[in-house]
Structure formats: C-alpha cells, structure tokens
Structure 1
Amino acid sequence: MNVTKDIRYIGVNDHEIDLFEGMYIVPEGMAYNSYVILDEKVAVMDTADRNFVQEWMGNLEAALEGKKPDYLIVQHMEPDHSSGISAFMEAYPEAKVVATAKAFTMMKNFTGTDYTGRGIVVKEGDKLELGSHVLTFVTAPMVHWPEVMFTYDSTDKVLFSADAFGKFGALDAEDEEGWACEARRYYFGIVGKYGAQVQAVLKKAAALDIQIICPLHGPILNENLGYYLDLYNTWSSYGVESEGVAVFYTSVYGHTKEAAEFMAAKLQELGCPKVAISDLARDDMAEAVEDAFRYGKIVLATTTYNADVFPFMREFIEHLTERNYQNRKIGFIENGSWAPTAAKVMKGMLEGCKNTTFAETEVKILSAMTEENKAQIEALAKELINA
C-alpha cells in the first residue's frame, strides 16, 4: 500500500491475539504498522510483533524491490513494534539503527546488544537526510514510554506518530463504529495517564505542516486531521468530549442494579442528551473507563462489601485515579443492609482528583430501593443535568 509516492506501508494484521498487552480485549484484532521511505537512502520505520516478524520481513523485501535499506528508525521499543530489530539487522548488515539514547538502553535489554558501531543516537530537532526527504526527530517522552520519538518528513508532510493516534483493530477488519470509539478506548487505557506529556508533544506538532499521520496502530490518517487533533487535545487535557452522564454500578442481588437503571431512565426522562450505563462486573472495564473520561458527569452506584466497596467498583475507581481523572462531577448511590459505607469509601478514593466535585444529593439504599430512594435519585438526576 502506498502512503505517498515514496512511502510504502509494510505493516501486518494480527487476528490471533485475544488480549492486547495482556489486558485489553481486541475482538477485531490489531495492526502493527511499519513503513519504508524509498529515496536515495532508504529508511524503515519500526518493525513488528515477534509472531509476525517473518511476514513483516517479507513485506519489507517486496516493498524494497531489490534496494537495500540504509536505516532502521526505532521510534518505540515496546515489543509489538521492536521484535523485528534483530532479524532486520542480521539481514541487512550494512544498515544503521536510529533511535534515542533511552531506546538504545532498552534495545540492549531486549536484544542483548545496542548495536555499537551501527547505531545513530538522535535527540530533539536532529535531522536525517535521505535525499529529497528530510526527517526531523521530535522527542515524545512518556507517550507512553520514556524513549519514544516521533519522526516528521517535511517533504511529504508526514508525521510518523509512534503509538499516538493509534487505535485497536486490524486494518482489514470492519470498522462500523468509526475511528473514535476504539481510538478513545486505546488512548485512555494505554496513554491516558500521560495527558501532560501528550499536550507537550501536541504543541510541538502544531508547529509542523502535517498532511498525513502514520501511527503504529490503526489506520493512516490523511484527511480531516483537525478532527483527530482536536480529539487528542480534548482527551489529553481531560476535557469533556460529549455532554451526558455515565452510570457505573456493581450489584450483588440486583437491588443496586435496579437503582442504577432507575437513575439512567430518570436521566433520559429529564432530557439528558446522552446516558451510558455499565455493569462493572460484566462489561468491558476498558469501555467503562473510556466512558468515564468521555462524559463530564458520572454516577457510581455500589454495595458496601466488607466495610469497603464491591471489588469491581474499587478496581474501576483505581483505573480512573491512576489515569489522573479530573474535571468531572460525580454522584453516588450506596447500598448496605446494616452499615452502608460505600459512598464514604468512594469519596475518599476520589478526593484527590483535580477540579472534581461531588453531588450534594446523597442516595443511601438500605437493602432495597424505596419510594424515598426514588425521590433522591430523581433529585440527583436533576442536580447533574442542571450542573
């Protein structure tokens, strides 16, 4: 596949994987993207996952059409992108590898060598001339590993963005929901903690004339780039993407579920523009995290469990706080048969979140929802809608 006249796509699709990074379900598989720039000198951008190195090498050889690569540019050392380094360096003994100093340290850890004598260490603003193409390296530490860099080709105005702007899903899979859905789940699951670092690199990118974005996962972006850049700016600044309320619950015998569903129905009845609801014990946790960051208001409904909160709710809140959850309003529904403490525990877990407020309306259920509880839930729904 041609990206431009001189840039070829040589990545691979993975439909064998069940959990990406051992955690995220990927029913549509994954793409491990790699590119080759054909000029007077030839540069290869990243490699592939270890299960697909031979397929990737075949793609590279076909794209080269008899040429020999001069450089392997390693933007990110995560093994799904770097596992082909050793095979490449063995197959092309005259090629040099280009990476940041931290990447070379990781390279030695992963491969047993840092390719002394064959390595070119680059830093912010360094350039590499291929002929008509001039590459500029843009450091992007902690997006989402410390060694990461982007590469900008000023000739074709292409930004090779490492894991940024990536999404779940193989490139040959059907994408009925559009880019944002799986890109959002990918971002908040994997990159979300590092919003400040993403903001920093977006400021660098704003100074570049970018016409095409080539990420290491997901499709090549070559139109309406403002849409993708605006979303990344919203996500990395912890802004509100969609007006609405997301309701998250755990329930043992169904009473808290009933309250959560009543809350969702009441929000819809009162005209809330969008209502999402998640059963944290059964729904994909990464999807729930995605919704918590998408909307500006959330409701947490759970039972007291061992004088704490139900384990799936605790796990969910920990996912939020470790990703710097902020700029939100949160309502609580707690349940307990003799000593409900869930709301207190949840507030304690979330009290360090920046610019986050708790709803004044409190809903405390003692075993089963009553008419009084329904009135409290309606009051909470009105408070959230009018906030």
Structure 2
Amino acid sequence: MAFRKVTDSILYVGVNDHEVDLFEGQYVVPNGMAYNSYVILDDKIAVMDTVDIHFAQEWLNNIAEALDGKKPTYLVVQHMEPDHSASIAEFLKVYPDAIVVGNAKTFVMMQQFFGADVAPNREVVANKGTLELGSHTLTFVFAPMVHWPEVMVTYDAADKVLFSADGFGKFGALDVEEDWDCEARRYYIGIVGKYGAQVQALLKVAATLDIQIICPLHGPVLTENLGHYIEKYDIWSSYKVESEGVMIAYASVYGNTKKAAEKLAETLKAKGCPKVVLRDLARSDMSENIEDAFRYGKLVLASITYNGDVFPFMHAFLHGLTERSYQNRTLGVIENGTWAPTAGRIIKSAFEKSKNITWLDTTVTIKSAMNAANDAQIEAMADELMKG
C-alpha cells in the first residue's frame, strides 16, 4: 500500500528520500529525509502540499491509489520551499481542474519559481481564513518566518489535526527508526533556530486549539505524548537551557589547544559535572556542534590565534551560533598564540550583539604550550563552571 491512514479521512501519501546526501546543501542526513504530504477525504478532497521534484511520480502514484478514482478539489500549499512545492506543476498536469490554495505571498513565490501560469485556478486565503470541505473545515494560521515569510499552518477541527508545515519536523526518512529528540533538535536549531520569537508566537496560537495529532512536512506524524514535543519546541524557541552540562568546542593545529580542552574536560568530570561534551570543530559535524551548544547551558570556546583571528572552523562555529540568535548562556574562553594571542578578544567580540551572555571571570591564555600557570587557570575555570 502506497498510502496509510492518519485518521479515517486523512491519508499519508508522502515519500522517503535515501538519495539525498546533504539536506539544503549543508546538513548531513545519514538516514535520509521524508517529504510528507496528506490527502483529506471529504465531499471536497484536499491534498496538503507536494514533494521534492525527484519523487514527483512516486508521490502522484501514492495520491492516485489513495483517491481510488476520485479527483482532488484543492491543493493546499503551506510552504513554498522546493522540497515541498517543486511538484505543483506535475500535480496540475494530472489534475488540471484542482484549485491551488495559498496566501498572497505563496503565489508571488510560485510565480518566481514556476512562472505566472502554473496555477490558473487559485484561492487566496487570509490569516485565520477557512476552507470548507464538507465535514472538515480547514483554518489557516499564518506563520511568517517559520521559517519562510509565506508559511502557514492548517488546523482541521473535525479530526483535531494540526498540519504544521516545517514545524515539529526532523531529519530522517520514515522507514528508519531513530530517536525523535536528537534529529528534531538538530533540524530545528539548524533551520528554524534564528526565528525563536516567531515560533513562540505560533505556539501561543496552537495553545488555543484542541490538537490531538500533528502532521509535519518532515518526520513522523505525532499522535502520542504531544506535550513532550510542544515542550521541546518551547525550550528551543525561547533559547532556554535544555540540559545541564558543559560543551567544550576546540580548534587546534598542533595539539596544544586540544590538550587544554581535554584537561578541562577531565577536570570537570572529576568534579562531578553532569555532562561534558568535547568537540574537535575540524573533525565533527558542524550542525551537531551547533545543536549541542544550544542544548547545554555552558560553553567553552578554545581556539588558536590564526592570521590575527580564530581558526577557520571556530570562525564558522561562532557564525553558526550568532546567526541563530544564541543567547542565555555562560561562556568561557581558552586562547592560544605564540606571539600575539588574540583569539579570546575575537571570540568575545563575536557575541557583542548577543543577549544574556555571561562570561566566566577566568580566561585561559596559552603561549604555545601548556604550563603550570595554565593548569591553575583550568582548575579555576572548572570551579567557575561547576557553580550554579
């Protein structure tokens, strides 16, 4: 069977992608991706979103099997990013009489992507606008910048389902079993993390609705323990600390800065730190590094001085944090330089516009290699990190 039931009247018709190596050209997805789409069966039939163009025919076959000879009245477009919208034209070749439903910004983007005539039959909806299918009434809630400006989510009051667009999505295809939290966190922080305020606004609207099922555009349909997923989104979008612990992120060339980072990690563990995450920025996945920096409440940045700046991998890490509105954290610095150690100053300057950053009193400054004074500084830094 190419489709499966979400409810008696809502069918899943999405596809799994195990061909993708980098999602959005940058995120490693070892377990692939799911591009989700749904069919709502009623007096008038609505298809919710399309899929990546490489899977258009598989998706259309899924729809045909789900419809069993019927014709869809509507294609609802919640998000115009091509992994969800690229098959609109292919859909309309098969179902030319279908009415495409979106907001004004949706259709501007649709013209930019596909040309003016891609959706001659269209219905432009307003925020909180509705679409009557029969026993199902769809209500559209605009969610600008979660994470594109045209995004909207859809609430079906009949089955108490929230079609959440990219919200509550995760990396990974649906034919692979894996923990939701980890890959949903990496997905959220990487793709939506900059827009916490907008997600918070959407969560406030969602709190007024009776939601029993969440149907995202990536990842599994969520039907149980919805409070857990909503709590995670509240933590992530309000930049709260999710887990107690310390992340130590280092960039080292000849191993001396690495030794300092390892020494700090060992000292913290000996003092009973609940969790210590040690990452070599040059040899680990950057999206996972950024994910962990947001997960834990304390972060130590250790870098050599390189061309009067920080090492390139540290530079990329700092940019990845600050462009995603990194805030509400305690930070420390380990810097190294043979003749002019300036890495610490560069690191601190990167967070000048960040909110609620608390710097440790102790900075570890290494001149080429570790010495007894540095050992004492690391001990003092560990003591600071263990407080509060």
Class of the TM-score when normalised by the shorter of the 2 chains: over 0.9
User: Equivalent of 1:72, from 65, 70, 75?
Assistant: 75
**83-92 vs 39-48, greater mean Cα deviation:** 83-92
The superposition leaves residues 340-374 of structure 1 with CA deviations (integer Å, 9 ceiling, x where unpaired) of: 01001110111221011111011001111112211
Q: How many Å apart are 1:307 and its aligned residue?
A: 1.0
One-letter amino acid matched to 1:163? D
When structure 1 is superposed on structure 2, of 105-114 and 284-293 the one drifting more is 105-114
Shift of 1:123: 1.5
The equivalent residue for 1:328 is 329
User: After the TM superposition, which segments of 4 or more aligned residues of structure 1 sit over 6 Å from their partners?
Assistant: none
Q: 1:296 to 1:114 in 2, by over 3 A?
A: farther
2:386 aligned with 1:385? yes
Aligned to 1:53: 56
The correspondence of residues 264-275 of structure 1 with structure 2, limited to 5 A, is 264-275=265-276
- Measured against aligned partners, the alpha-carbon deviations of 1:81-107 in whole angstroms (never above 9, x if no partner) come to 001100111211211000011010000
Give the alignment of 1:55-134 within 5 angstroms: 55-113=58-116, 115=118, 117-134=120-137
Is the contact between residue 150 and residue 161 of structure 1 (CA under 8 Å) also seen in structure 2? yes
Identity %: 65
Matched to 1:222, the amino acid is T
Residue 283 of structure 2 aligns to a residue whose secondary structure is: coil
Aligned amino acid, residue 373 of structure 2: E
What is the TM-score with the length of structure 1 in the denominator?
Answer: 0.98
Instruction: Give the whole-Å Cα distance in 2 for the aligned partners of 1:268 and 1:2.
Output: 48
Equivalent residue pairs, number: 385
- For the residues of structure 1 that align with 2:161 and 2:138, how far apart are their CA atoms? 10
- Deviation, 1:140, is 0.4
- Once the two structures are TM-superposed, the CA of residue 113 in structure 1 deviates from its matched residue by 2.4
Q: CA deviation at 1:220?
A: 0.6
Residue 23 (1) aligns with residue 23 (2) = no
CA 200–114 in structure 1, closer or farther in 2 if over 3 Å, else same: farther
Contact 2:89–2:118 (CA under 8 A) maintained in structure 1: no
The root-mean-square deviation of aligned C-alpha atoms, in Å, is 0.9
Q: Deviations over 1:2-22 (max 9, x none)?
A: 100000000000000000000
Match of 1:193 in 2: 194
Query: Equivalent residue for 2:13?
Result: 10
Q: Deviation per CA, 1:233-262, whole angstroms, max 9, x where unpaired?
A: 000000000011111000000111111111
Tell me which residue corresponds to 1:136.
139
2:324 corresponds to which letter in structure 1? R
Residues 21-59 of structure 1, C-alpha deviations (whole Å, 9 max, x = no match): 000000000000000001111000000001000000000
Q: Which moved more, 1:72-81 or 1:361-370?
A: 361-370
Structure 2 residue 37 is matched with structure 1 residue 37? no
Question: Which residue number corresponds to residue 310 of structure 1?
Answer: 311
Provide the secondary structure at the position in 1 that maps to 2:354: coil
Query: Is 2:362 aligned against 1:361?
Result: yes
How far has the Cα of 1:375 moved from its partner?
1.5
TM-score, normalised with respect to structure 2 = 0.98
The answer to whether the Cα contact below 8 Å between 1:105 and 1:114 also exists between their aligned partners in 2 is no
The match for 2:220 is: 219
Distance in 2 between the 1:285 and 1:218 partners? 21
Within 2, Cα distance between the matches of 1:356 and 1:191?
A: 21
Structure 1 partner of 2:209? 208
Could you tell me which residue of structure 1 aligns to residue 320 of structure 2?
319
SS in 1 for 2:176: coil
Spell out the pairing of 1:341-352 with structure 2 (5 A cutoff): 341-352=342-353
1:167-178 paired onto structure 2 within 5 Å: 167-175=170-178, 178=179
Is this contact kept in 1: 2:245–2:274, CA < 8 A?
yes
Residue 266 of structure 1 deviates from its aligned partner by: 1.0
Structure 1 residues without counterparts, runs of 5 or longer: none
Matching of residue 243 in structure 1 with residue 236 in structure 2:
no
How far residue 114 of structure 1 moved from its aligned partner, in angstroms, is: 5.3
SS at match of 1:168: coil
Note if contact 2:100-2:119 (Cα within 8 Å) is conserved in structure 1: no
Residue 154 of structure 2 corresponds to 151
- Distance across 2 between alignment mates of 1:117 and 1:342: 57
Task: Find the residue that maps to 1:80 and give its secondary structure.
Answer: helix
Secondary structure, counterpart of 1:359 in structure 2: strand
Query: Could you tell me whether the CA contact under 8 Å between 1:248 and 1:300 is conserved in 2?
Result: yes
Give the residue type in structure 1 aligned to 2:296. Answer: Y
* Contact 1:171/1:218 (<8 A) preserved: yes
| Structure 1 position 231 matched with structure 2 position 232 | yes
Q: Deviations over 1:213-233 (max 9, x none)?
A: 000000110000000000000
Measured after TM superposition, the shift of residue 173 of structure 1 is: 1.4
Q: Separation in 2 of the partners of 1:188 and 1:136?
A: 28
CA contact (8 A) 1:129 1:135 kept: yes
Shift of 1:174: 2.8
- How far apart are the structure 2 equivalents of 1:122 and 1:279? 49
Q: Measured at CA, do residues 124 and 230 of structure 1 come closer, stay the same or move farther in structure 2, by a change above 3 Å?
A: same
Kept in 2, the 8 Å contact 1:104–1:114? The answer is no
Instruction: Return 5+ residue gaps in structure 2 as ranges.
Output: none
